[in-house]
Structure 1
Amino acid sequence: MRLRERLTDVRRAALPIAQATLAAGAAWLIATEVWGHARPFFAPIAAIIVLGATYMERGRRTVELMVGVTLGIAVGDLLISVIGVGTWQLMGVIALAMATAVFVGGGPLLITQASVSAILVVTLQPPTEGIYWGRMIDAFTGGLLGIAVSILIPVDPLALARRTVRPLLHELAEALEAIATALDRRDLDAGERALVAARALDAKADAFHRAVVAAGETARIAPPRWRTRDRLSHYATADPQLDNAVRNVRVLARGALRAIQLGDHVPPDLGIALHELAATVRGYDLALADHDGRNAAQPRHSALRAAARATLVLERTGNMSVSVLVGQVRSTAVDLLRGLGLDGDDARAAVRAATLEVAAEEQGSVGAPPVPRPTL
């Protein structure tokens, strides 16, 4: 199983590996054959660094790379021409290059590249005739080649979005079911585990957000991926709403743990509502990948039922813990509905209608007393 997973990872990395190989090779070829540089080590290094950035960062990283290389070369060449080569000279060059990069307001890449460039200048090609600007040309060549390869041979943006949303959806559904189980069993340990699971969702939500940004940039600038833009819009719509849902679930987990600690009465219907929210999340993957919206019907229905059931719980049980939990269930349901394409007003109106529908079903099945019209 472990070997199969590793082989899957290698297969997924095949295109980035090919991009890096092609860009580095092309950068070296141009630097040696066109510019006539004998040892253009900065050219393939720059290509690899730029390709290692996300798509939104590549332009900025190329600029930082250029500035970093220039600073490192300038500091290294000037100092070594005066103080020579040695251990303390190397330490002085590194310190001065990094301090200069910080002084000009550089980010982590600029600071690192300035120090690396200075090290390479001192150790591989110490200056003999002042500053050698060919190194900067090599870095610029590699940076441009990295960007060009990422545009002409881009990754699949849809696959990138799907690959990152699936673990988020899986863990979000698991957290909701863990909260429901803890409430059903009045289990304090289970409640604490559910809170830990809810807090761990942030990393997955951040990864999905970064993937959506990168995928959108790829679809915008890479002609081979232009046709994916419409389908990527589903993921872009869902991104902020899933982030909101993650925040709400974290509050839900804290509220559930507090309710268990205080011994507050939480009706079983609230646990059912949480399981319905989990079902909503589990149906999200197919809904986001859908062309015509057919697969969105099931998660929408589950989200509406969850919000409606929670609303009725609040009408019948009004302690503080239930109020907090119901508020978060309804907010999460609305966020998930908006992620499926409904605007805020339509989502809230749909929840109100679903509440009346569920109330009518309960009255018809168990003869429950009339329930007043809820408000959101």
Structure 2
Amino acid sequence: MARNGLSRLLRRDGERDGRSDVDTARIAETMAQLHHRGKASLRDRLHRVRLSLGLAAQAGLAAGLAWLAAHELLGNPQPVFAPISAVGTLAVSVGQRFRRTIELILGVGVGVLVGDLLIYLLGTGPWQLGLVVTSAIVLTVFAGGSVAIVIQAAATAVLIVTLSPSVEDLELPRFIDAIVGGGIALLVTAILLPLNPLRVLNRAARPALDLLAGQLDITADGLRDRNRDSIQQALDRLRNNKQELAALGEAIEGAKETALLSPARWHRRSELTHYAEAADPIDRAMRNSGTLIRRAVTLVEDEEPVPEPMPDAIAHLAEAVRLLTKEFAQGEEPEQAREWSLRAVSEAGRAYGDGVGFSGSVVVAQVRTTASDLLVASGISQEEANQLVRRSFGELNRPGVAAGPEPAAQRPAAPPVG
């Protein structure tokens, strides 16, 4: 019995040690994940700070100049609304500042009109305030105003009602302040401190393109190792790319606005046009790469064959994306990006010739389609891109590749382009 009791004690100690080892491993894994997320978060925050430095400088300059103009030139002793309007104009999404200025002025006009009229008829008080705000919103919505105009009208109405008892003749200074603040903001954006539109675009494009290249690299490595989990993680990360794509689209609109308003940036219009035309094919490349990676997960799950050229094709796509980023940033013709895109297609053709399963044929097709998107993003027409892709895919007479096509019944239909 003593021997049995000792065995039970040893067994319990062993179980505790096993649980302790598992808990220690989990704690270590959790700490490693938190450390990685903390580093990634810090990088993201520093990147956002770098992106916002130009806007911060513009907003600070515009606020100071707006206050100075309203106070010194127009004689307004309390020009509160001029810097507010200036910052409000600059704080809106870049690419919409001119429209935002017009909306500010219209919203202020509606708020002043409704607030002044109802104060004259009904006086001031809490229920009058509620009625003024409701009336301003209903009127702007009925007139078809945007959300910005509605908010500005309601905010102006609130200020008119709450400050009118203590500040005389508030309405006209408020309206003039809005015009001064919005005008100063546009002056700073267009003349005094215009941002370099290409630099803004490069900074905004890099996160989206780096994300795409990184997940394609992970997918290529995952196929070589048949690591389904790593490919799935790449798919999940690429699916959460809305923030990167939104930043790129916003930067393109802002750069186009800067090139339109700022004489100092007019010579950049042709380069900006090229960037703007690249936005849609880059978005398509993101989506098609998502399909590629999703099928790669299925390919590994179904234990389909992975010909050696298939991961190479995907890795070449990643390199093409990186080169596109680099050549865009340097203002060069993206010839290397085109070359590596076609290399990816050629390797996909070799993989197809070696024999692939159903999901493998979809991966091959998506390599072709994504490469076509990257070629279009580089400035090639869609028709020419498709021709180049077909030509590269057909170059199968190479060492280590089957000399002739398999019988039609033994191989899937040729993958489409585009």
Per-residue deviation, 1:157: 0.6
Instruction: Structure 2 unaligned segments of length 5 or more: list them.
Output: 1-38, 407-413
2:66 aligned residue: 27
Cα deviation, 1:316-337, whole Å, max 9, x if unaligned, reads 4353312221111101011111
3-state SS in 2 of match to 1:133: helix
Q: TM-score, normalised by structure 1?
A: 0.86
Q: Kindly indicate whether the alpha-carbon contact (under 8 Å) linking 2:164 and 2:170 is maintained by their aligned counterparts in 1.
A: no
Q: 1:45 to 1:258 in 2, by over 3 A?
A: same
Q: Is the 8 A contact 2:304 2:356 kept in 1?
A: no
Q: Distance in 2 between matches of 1:264 and 1:318?
A: 7
Q: Secondary structure at the match of 2:318?
A: helix
Aligned residues: 369
Secondary structure class of the residue paired with 1:360: coil
The reply to whether residue 218 of structure 1 matches residue 258 of structure 2 is yes
- What residue identity is the alignment partner of 1:243? D
Aligned pair 1:317/2:355, yes or no?
yes
AA in 2 matched with 1:150: T
Q: Structure 1's 291 and 78: CA in aligned 2 closer, same or farther, altered over 3 A?
A: closer
Deviation at 1:203, TM superposition (A): 2.5
Residue 354, structure 1, aligned to residue 392, structure 2? yes
User: RMSD over aligned Cα, in angstroms?
Assistant: 2.9
Residue aligning to 1:145: 184
Determine if the alignment matches structure 1 residue 260 to structure 2 residue 295.
no
How many Å separate the matches in 2 of 1:287 and 1:159?
A: 13
- Please show how residues 111-126 of structure 1 align to structure 2 within 5 Å: 111-126=150-165
Superposed displacement of residue 213, structure 1: 2.1
Counterpart residue number, 2:404 = 370
Q: 1:6 to 1:97 in 2, by over 3 A?
A: same
Separation (CA, whole Å) in 2 of partners of 1:5 and 1:234: 27
Partner of 1:103: 142
Offset at residue 127 of structure 1 (A): 8.4
Relative to structure 1, is the Cα distance of residues 9 and 194 closer, same or farther in structure 2, using a 3 angstrom cutoff? closer
Contact 1:205-1:246 within 8 A present in 2 as well: no
**Quick one: which of 300, 313, 319 aligns to 2:338?**
300
What code does the residue aligned with 1:109 have?
A
Residue 195 (structure 1) aligns with: 235
* Amino acid corresponding to residue 101 of structure 1 in structure 2: T
1:214 to 1:130, Cα distance in 2 relative to 1, 3 A: closer
- 1:144 positional shift: 1.5
Task: Tell me, in whole angstroms, the C-alpha distance in 2 between the residues paired with 1:247 and 1:16.
Answer: 31
Deviations 1:305-355 (A, max 9, x none): 111221333344353312221111101011111222222233233333333
My pick for the range that moved more, 97-106 or 183-192, is 183-192
Structure of larger gyration radius: 2
Does the 8 A contact of 1:74 with 1:131 survive in 2?
no
Structure 2 Cα separation of the partners of residues 9 and 211 of structure 1? 13
1:75 aligns with 2:114: yes
Q: CA 1:49–1:91 in structure 2 vs 1: closer, same or farther (change >3 Å)?
A: same
Residues 25, 207 of structure 1: CA spacing in aligned structure 2 closer, same or farther, 3 A cutoff? same
**How far 1:273 sits from its partner (Å)?**
0.8
In the TM superposition, residue 369 of structure 1 has moved relative to its aligned partner by 2.1
Aligned to 1:174: 214
- CA deviations on 1:242-265 (whole Å, 9 max, x unpaired) are 111011112112222333344433
Higher alpha-carbon deviation: 126-135 or 269-278: 126-135
Q: 1:283 aligns with which of 323, 328, 331?
A: 323
* CA drift at 1:151: 0.5
Q: 1:147 to 1:10 in 2, by over 3 A?
A: same
Aligned residue in 2 for 1:339:
377
Matched to 2:369, the amino acid is: S
* 1:17–1:205 Cα change, 3 Å: closer
Offset at residue 282 of structure 1 (A): 1.4
d(CA) in 2 for partners of 1:159, 1:165 = 10
Cα 1:62–1:279 change in 2 (3 A) is same
Q: 1:338 to 1:355 in 2, by over 3 A?
A: same
Q: Give the match for residue 241 of structure 1.
A: 281
Alpha-carbon distance in 2 for matches of 1:193, 1:67: 48
Indicate if the aligned counterparts of 2:316 and 2:340 stay in contact, CA closer than 8 A: yes
CA distance in 2, matches of 1:55, 1:7: 20
State the one-letter code of the partner of 1:169: L
Residue aligning to 1:63: 102
Q: Which structure 1 residue ranges, 5 or more long, are not aligned?
A: none
